[in-house]
Structure 1
Amino acid sequence: MTADCPEHLLLRQLFDRAVEVADPIRSLAAHLPPKPAGRVVVIGAGKASARMAEAAEAAWGPCEGLVITRYGYARPCRGIEIVEAAHPVPDAAGVAATARMLDLVAGLNADDFVLALISGGASALLCAPAGGMTLEEKQAVNQALLSSGAPIGQMNILRKHLSRVKGGQLAAAAYPARMLTLLISDVPGDAPGLIGSGPTVGEAATAADAAQIAAEWQIPLPASAQAALSQSGVLAPEDPRLSKVQNLIYAAPSQSLAAASALAEAAGLKVISLGNDLEGEAREVANTHAAEALRLQAARKPGDAPLLLISGGELTVTRRGKGVGGPNAEYCLALAIALQGAAGIHAIACDTDGIDGAAEVAGAVIGPDTLARAKAAGVAPADALAANDAHNFFASIGGQVVTGPTLTNVNDFRAILIG
């Protein structure tokens, strides 16, 4: 990012604050009960799950267990085994680790206790293809979903019905043991069943609904996937095997946005929330936000406090080109094009897990000089947008935000500063 710009430094501080309050090492222990007597098994998956396991052991001491996280996101634990696997497209390491997790909870009895730690990313990291699906077929379906522009809720319904572990099936494998699932929400609306495709939460949507989603978003399903849908093991919400499970969301986008908003207000900004649960095509949302920013700027009077438009949620990208991009970078690129260098408007959009789409980049920042910098660098913003190549665009002009693994995941963070 452009480190010499005070507006961009402020926006980065707000983003960092949003990430900080969702760090499991700071927030998880308060939601743990005293460590139960008897056998305790800790399981989990997601981009924040290793950090969650680290926090659990900080409170409870060494524990038996297995947690799957993204490559590069492991944390030191004394008893819980941390396995790294691929995200957002699953790999053989995830398949093998998921099979071991199912074996670990098999045979537990009613006196045993399971702590499940689930965060965004578990949909890919927990991988147990249903029916006769191969890993390669599962990868192809997942890649098609990621490129389709489908909302996360619909993506995860299809994922559940093509899995042997999602949609409550992980909880069923541990039944009749007692289970507490602690969740970090990365989904608009904070529905527990959408976080990581709900491995410990029942699902009301049927296999027929899943097939309709595949048809609507033009997701090719091989014969093995169609067969898997006809034999779906997803649990209905009222299934008795879920009766021993308590699902608790303890960290969510709303909390992170509130913390960033408080910091902004302390810095003298007037904060306007656009919502913590926005969905939609990144470029279209950017156009709407640009129009609102210009409208509000035109209405400002001399002496008015600077404005901050803040929002969260999960935007999507329909892949049209062959570039390297993600919804946050594409949002920023489309926003810059729509603003056309408007003076006094700066913005940031980043994924709180540090990974935006197809690159090890959290997102991007823009300002009034973004298009001029692009012209000087010889890159065409409209061409980059058409090719879904936002990450390369911002790499060429110094507009990337790179954090490395943040060890948490409360979805997208967007802020537009209007001076």
Structure 2
Amino acid sequence: MSWPEPQQVALWLQALFEAAVARAQPERVLAAHLPEPPRGRTVVIGAGKAAAAMAQAVEAAWPRAAPLSGVVVTRYDHTPPRPADLLARIRVLEAAHPVPDEAGMVASGELLAAVRGLSADDLVLCLMSGGASSLLTLPAEGLSLADKQRINRQLLRSGAPIDEMNVVRKHLSRIKGGRLAMACAPARVLTLAISDVPGDDPAVIGSGPTVPDPSSCTEALGVIRRHAIDLPPEVLRALETGTLETPKPGAAHWARVETRIIATPWQSLEAAAERARAMGLEAHILGDGIEGESRDIGRMHAAIARSVAQRGQPFRSPCVLLSGGETTVTVRATAPGKVLGRGGRAGEFCLGLAQALGGAPGIWGLAADTDGIDGLDDNAGAWVGPDTLVRGTALGLRIDDHLDRHDAHGYFAALGDLVVTGPTFTNVNDFRAVLVLSSG
């Protein structure tokens, strides 16, 4: 059987990714969820990789004559060009992600200052999206910024799933875990959130700054001990005694607090599936909450794709397998003399996928982060084809070595197979597409 040119397949896969990202753009989904202006003031606050784009969408849709002010914080370089007809009534600040910095602390303080002194006639619009946990940085008593940075790095390298990381972050913060909503009282609070977490739980998105926290100090301690996270002794004692407990359901002000999820990973996967069907391909969504080690999830996808290609089970080819969720990369100690490489979850998935496919004909794959940034690098992800290993070997690359060093960026950059989009100004987490054209 003759296969399409690799460039053509790359364009097909890229089109599916673009459809997923387009479905979650704030300018497309936000305006329908805006309430009528209140009798009093409307104050906009927010954080996340989509915060600036969400703020612009609010400004574009909000009545010009109605009062509107506020401040949001987003990741560096994640502010889209401002349309010329907007009045810039909402200030946009930028800070570091995924490891917080001083700018994040300043921005968090400004968000809290913006909601002080409000009345019951006022409305707070809180715009939340993935990345807010790192961008909203106000350490608990006894913690310095340096402590928070060190703890964040440990969590990121531990392989802990996002919900566990956020349990810790909530209890070590003065703004997360419902505390921001309490600071807005007695004003009404409406949170509009773009979900980047499996299950779309508002208490997990951005560590739930405007959502009552169902987790406890005891659970946070469990995560810390399970993953050997180092805390200052006084903070450890504060967790043990419950001093750092977060606001729980039941407080009267929660009756004036509402959250609406305006974009989800599942909706974006559905949009990609629709695009695939328009291209004449059957599309199957494996799930939007797949978690686990990135390389292992890549191997799992390879096993399903091989079964489709060889046996026509559980689906018949040609088809595309779609999935989302948030995988993890547990950074392991390397052998003496080996240096850790560069790469994120999507790239490591692609390494595992390519290794397990072993050059199987007729199978291609793409994995990318929908925010356009895979980990700390300048690419969104990478793509894999039947010739990935052959071309890598010809360049002297050993895929096992790149997996050992978590160096997906180095491997796929050498092949010219990185997916580079720049910031997309939204975030519905990981996107994966495996195209199977061969038939058993």
TM-score, scaled to structure 1: 0.96
Q: Distance in 1 between matches of 2:98 and 2:184?
A: 26
Q: Distance in 2 between matches of 1:237 and 1:367?
A: 50
1:131 to 138, 141, 146: 141
Cα RMSD, aligned residues only: 1.6
Q: Is the 8 A contact 1:132 1:228 kept in 2?
A: no
Q: Is the 8 A contact 2:308 2:317 kept in 1?
A: no
2:259 to 247, 262, 273: 247
Q: Distance in 2 between matches of 1:183 and 1:82?
A: 17
SS of residue in 2 equivalent to 1:316: coil
Q: Report the Cα offset of residue 237 of structure 1.
A: 2.3
Corresponding residue number in structure 1 for 2:52: 50
Q: Is the 8 A contact 2:325 2:429 kept in 1?
A: yes
Q: Distance in 2 between matches of 1:267 and 1:104?
A: 48
Give the aligned length. Answer: 416
Q: Is the 8 A contact 2:283 2:320 kept in 1?
A: yes
Q: Distance in 2 between matches of 1:17 and 1:196?
A: 24
Q: Is the 8 A contact 1:131 1:227 kept in 2?
A: no
SS of residue in 2 equivalent to 1:311: strand
| Percentage identity across paired residues of the two chains | 51
Q: Distance in 2 between matches of 1:223 and 1:315?
A: 31
Q: Report the Cα offset of residue 61 of structure 1.
A: 4.8
Corresponding residue number in structure 1 for 2:337: none
Runs of 4+ in 1 over 6 A off after TM superposition: none
1:217 to 208, 227, 230: 227
Corresponding residue number in structure 2 for 1:24: 26
SS of residue in 2 equivalent to 1:192: coil
Q: Distance in 1 between matches of 2:45 and 2:259?
A: 14
Q: Report the Cα offset of residue 49 of structure 1.
A: 0.6
Q: Is the 8 A contact 1:192 1:247 kept in 2?
A: yes
Q: Distance in 2 between matches of 1:180 and 1:273?
A: 31
2:165 to 155, 160, 169: 155
Q: Report the Cα offset of residue 228 of structure 1.
A: 4.7
Q: Report the Cα offset of residue 218 of structure 1.
A: 1.5
CA-to-partner distance for each residue in 1:84-105, whole Å, 9 max, x for gaps?
A: 0000010000001101111111
Corresponding residue number in structure 2 for 1:276: 288
SS of residue in 2 equivalent to 1:257: helix
SS of residue in 2 equivalent to 1:172: helix
Q: Report the Cα offset of residue 356 of structure 1.
A: 1.0
Corresponding residue number in structure 2 for 1:197: 207
TM-score, scaled to structure 2: 0.92
Q: Report the Cα offset of residue 300 of structure 1.
A: 3.6
1:146 to 151, 156, 164: 156
Letter in 1 for 2:79: A
Q: Is the 8 A contact 2:76 2:95 kept in 1?
A: yes
Superposed counterparts of 1:56-67, under 5 Å: 56-61=58-63, 63-67=68-72
Structure 2's unaligned 5+ residue stretches are: 335-339
Is 2:85 aligned against 1:74? no
CA-to-partner distance for each residue in 1:259-312, whole Å, 9 max, x for gaps?
A: 1001101111111211011111111111111111101110249xx651111101
SS of residue in 2 equivalent to 1:325: coil
CA-to-partner distance for each residue in 1:58-114, whole Å, 9 max, x for gaps?
A: 001562100000000124361100000000010000001101111111111111110
Corresponding residue number in structure 2 for 1:35: 37
Q: Is the 8 A contact 1:268 1:305 kept in 2?
A: no
Is 2:394 aligned against 1:382? no
2:380 to 362, 375, 381: 362
Q: Report the Cα offset of residue 154 of structure 1.
A: 0.5
SS of residue in 2 equivalent to 1:256: helix
Q: Report the Cα offset of residue 6 of structure 1.
A: 1.0
Structure 1's unaligned 5+ residue stretches are: none
Q: Report the Cα offset of residue 353 of structure 1.
A: 0.3
SS of residue in 2 equivalent to 1:108: coil
Q: Distance in 1 between matches of 2:157 and 2:220?
A: 17
Letter in 1 for 2:99: V
After alignment, is 81-90 or 389-398 more displaced?
A: 389-398
CA-to-partner distance for each residue in 1:197-250, whole Å, 9 max, x for gaps?
A: 000011111111101111111111122432453421511122323221111101
